[in-house]
Structure 1
Amino acid sequence: MSAVPTRRRVRAALVGLVAMLVGLAPAAVAHAQTVGTQRAGVQRAGTEAADGPTAVARARVAADVLMSSYDPEKAWFPSSWWNSAVALQTIGDYMQRTGDRRYLPQLDNTFRKDQGKFPAGELSGDELWGNFTSRAIDDSEWWGLTWIQAYDVTGDARYLRMAVKIAEFTNGYWDDTCGGGVWWNAERTYKNAVTNGLYIRLTAELHNRVPGDKRWLARSQAAWDWFAGSGMINSSGLVNDGLNDDCHSNGQTVWTYNQGLAVGGALELWRATGDPTLLSTARRLADAAIDGGLTTDGVLTEACDTLDRTCDDNAKQFKGIFLRYLMDLADTTRADRYKAFVARQAETIWAQDHDAADRLGTRWAGGTSTDHPNVFDWRTQASALSALIAAVPVPAPKRSLAATTSPAQPVVMPVGNGSTKLTVNVGLSATGPASEQVTARVTVRAPDGWTVSPASGTVVLSPRGNTHPVYGTFPVQVTVPATAEDGHHDVTATVTADSGLSFGTRSEVTVAHKIDFDTGTAAEMPWLWDADGSQSNGVQNRFADGNHYFVYRFPFPADTVTARATVTIDNEYVVEASSDGEHWTTVAKEAQRVTDGSNKADQVIDLTAYLGPDKATYLRVSDSFPDDGWGGRVYHVTAASTE
Structure 2
Amino acid sequence: MILNRSRVLRALIAGAASLAVGMVSALPAGADPGGGADGPTATARARVAADVLMSSYEPVKAWFPSSWWNSAVALQTVGDYMQRTGDRRYLPQLDNTFENDKGVFPAGYLSGDPLLGNFTSRAIDDSEWWGLTWVQAYDLTKNPKYLDMAVTIARYVEGYWDDTCGGGVWWDGERTYKNAVTNGLWIRLTAELHNRIPGDRHWLGRAQQGWNWFTGSGLINADGLVNDGLNTGTCKSNNETVWTYNQGLAIGAGLELWRATHNPQLLTTVRRLADAAIGAKGLAPNGILTESCEAPGKSCDDNQKQFKGIFLRYWMDLTDTTHDARYTAFQDRQAATVWDNRDAAGRLGLRWAGGSSNVFDWRTQASALSALIADVPARPPVRSLSATMSPAQPVVMASSATATTVKLTARIQATAPAGQRITADVRATAPAGWTVTPSRATVTLRPKGNAVPAQTAVELEVAIPAGTADGRYPVTVTAKSGPLLAFSTRADILVARTVDFDTGTAAELPWLWDAGGSQSNGVQNRFADGNAYFVYRFPFPSGTTSASATLTLDNEYVVEVSGDGQQWTTVGRETEHAHDGQNKAARTFDLTPHLGPDKAAYVRISDSFPEEGWGGRLYHLSATYTG
Matches within 5 A, 1:98-109: 98-109=85-96
Say yes or no: does 1:506 pair with 2:490. Answer: yes
Q: Deviations 1:251-299 (Å, cap 9, x if unpaired)?
A: 2221111111000001011111111011121122112212341113222
Does 574-583 or 418-427 show the bigger shift?
418-427
Decide whether the 8 Å contact of 2:361 with 2:521 is kept in 1.
no
Matched, 1:333 2:314: no
TM normalised by structure 1 equals 0.90
Which residue does 1:86 correspond to in 2?
73
* Residue pairs, 1:175-254, within 5 angstroms: 175-245=162-232, 246-254=234-242
C-alpha distance 58-566 of structure 1, shift in aligned 2 (>3 A):
same
* Residue pairs, 1:101-500, within 5 angstroms: 101-245=88-232, 246-292=234-280, 293-351=282-340, 353-368=341-356, 373-498=357-482, 500=484
Mapped partners of 1:401, 1:274: distance in 2: 40
CA drift of 1:340 comes to 2.0
Moved over 6 A (4+): none
Q: Aligned pair in 2 of structure 1 residues 276, 73: CA closer, same or farther (>3 Å)?
A: same
Cα 1:432–1:6 shift into 2, 3 Å: farther
Structure 2 CA distance for aligned equivalents of residues 194 and 493 of structure 1? 46
Partner residue of 2:590? Answer: 606
Which residue of structure 1 aligns with residue 515 of structure 2? 531
Contact 2:399-2:467 within 8 A present in 1 as well: no
User: Following TM superposition, by how much is the alpha carbon of 1:11 offset from its aligned partner in structure 2, in angstroms?
Assistant: 6.1
Counterpart of 2:508 in 1: which secondary structure? helix
CA–CA separation in structure 1 for the residues paired with 2:585 and 2:575: 15
**Contact residue 11 and residue 391 of structure 2 kept, 8 A:** no
SS of 1:635's equivalent in the other structure is strand
Query: Which consecutive unaligned segments of at least 5 residues does structure 2 have?
Result: 1-5, 16-35
Query: 2:97 & 2:508 partners in 1: Cα distance?
Result: 31
1:256 and 1:322 in contact (8 A); partners too = yes
Provide the C-alpha distance between the structure 1 equivalents of 2:211 and 2:79, rounded to a whole number of angstroms.
Answer: 26
Q: Deviations over 1:532-554 (max 9, x none)?
A: 10001122111111111100011
* 1:199 shift after superposition: 0.6
Is the 8 Å Cα contact of residues 472 and 492 (structure 2) preserved in structure 1?
yes
TM-superposed CA distance for 1:360, in Å, is: 1.3
Instruction: Note the 1:67-78 alignment, pairs <5 A.
Output: 67-78=54-65
Query: Please, which moves more after superposition, 259-268 or 541-550?
Result: 541-550
Deviations 1:507-549 (A, max 9, x none): 2222222111111122211111100100011221111111111
Residue in 1 aligned with 2:33?
none
Could you tell me whether the CA contact under 8 Å between 2:11 and 2:390 is conserved in 1?
Answer: no
Separation in structure 1 between the aligned mates of residue 344 and residue 428 of structure 2, nearest angstrom: 15
Task: Kindly provide the CA deviation profile for residues 323-375 of structure 1, in whole angstroms up to 9, marking residues without a partner as x.
Answer: 11011111111222222222222122112x2234221111112112xxxx311
CA distance in 2, matches of 1:356, 1:429: 21
Q: Which amino acid aligns with 1:318?
A: F
SS at match of 1:337: helix
- Residue 625 of structure 1, aligned match among 609, 613, 622: 609
- What amino acid is aligned across from residue 480 of structure 1 in structure 2? I
Distance 2:294 2:409 in 1: 35
Amino acid corresponding to residue 63 of structure 1 in structure 2: A
Once the two structures are TM-superposed, the CA of residue 502 in structure 1 deviates from its matched residue by 2.2
The residue that corresponds to 1:9 in the other structure is: 10
- 1:425 aligned counterpart, secondary structure: strand
The one-letter amino acid of 2:426's match is V
Q: Which moved more, 1:225-234 or 1:333-342?
A: 333-342
Q: Deviations over 1:62-94 (max 9, x none)?
A: 111111111111111111001100111011111
Partners of 2:124 and 2:172 within 8 A in 1: yes
Check the 8 A contact 1:403/1:504 in 2, yes or no.
yes
CA drift at 1:109: 0.7
- Whether the aligned pair in 1 keeps the contact of 2:191 and 2:260 (CA below 8 Å) is yes
In structure 2, how many angstroms separate the alpha carbons of the residues matched to 1:280 and 1:486?
59
Q: Which amino acid aligns with 1:584?
A: W
Q: 1:207 to 1:347 in 2, by over 3 A?
A: same
Q: Confirm or deny: 8 A CA contact 1:54 1:503 kept in the other structure.
A: no
Give the gaps of 5 or more residues in structure 1.
15-48
What letter is aligned with 1:343? Answer: D
Residue identity opposite 2:275 in structure 1 = D
Distance 1:458 1:362, change over 3 A: farther
- Asked if the contact 1:8/1:529 (under 8 Å) is kept, the reply is no
- Aligned partner of 1:324: which letter? R
CA distance in 1, matches of 2:451, 2:560: 41
- Residue 367 and residue 632 in structure 1: after superposition, are their counterparts in 2 closer, same or farther (change >3 A)? same
The alpha carbon displacement at 1:577 in A equals 0.6
User: Which piece of structure 1 moves more, 58-67 or 282-291?
Assistant: 282-291
Q: Distance in 2 between matches of 1:431 and 1:214?
A: 42
Identify the range of structure 1 (475-484 vs 533-542) with the bigger mean alpha-carbon deviation: 475-484
The alignment covers a number of residue pairs equal to: 599
Match of residue 40 from structure 1: none
Distance 2:171 2:185 in 1: 11
Could you say which residue in structure 2 is the equivalent of 1:578? 562
Q: Aligned with 2:226: secondary structure? A: coil
Residue identity matched to 1:85: A
Shift of 1:437: 1.4
Residue 458 of structure 1 deviates from its aligned partner by 2.3
How far the C-alpha of 1:597 sits from its partner, in A, is 2.6
Q: Which moved more, 1:482-491 or 1:538-547?
A: 482-491
Farther-moved stretch of structure 1 (245-254 vs 273-282): 245-254
**C-alpha displacement of 1:54:** 1.3
Alpha-carbon deviations, 1:209-255, whole Å to 9, x = none?
11111111111111111111122211221111111232221222211
Work out which of the residue numbers 50, 53, 58 in structure 2 matches 1:63.
50
Deviations 1:475-528 (A, max 9, x none): 222233344333333333222211612223222222222111111122211111
User: 2:526 & 2:249 partners in 1: Cα distance?
Assistant: 32
Match of 1:39 in 2: none
- The 1:515–1:323 alpha-carbon spacing in structure 2 relative to 1, beyond 3 Å, is same
Per-residue displacement from partner, 1:23-72 (whole Å, max 9, x unpaired)? xxxxxxxxxxxxxxxxxxxxxxxxxx981111111111211111111111
Q: Where do 1:628-639 residues align within 5 Å?
A: 628-639=612-623
Give the distance between the partners of 1:486 and 1:162, measured in 2 at CA. 56
Task: Return the alpha-carbon distance in structure 1 between the equivalents of residues 442 and 222 of structure 2.
Answer: 59
Amino acid in structure 2 at the alignment position of 1:363: R
The aligned amino acid for 2:110 is L
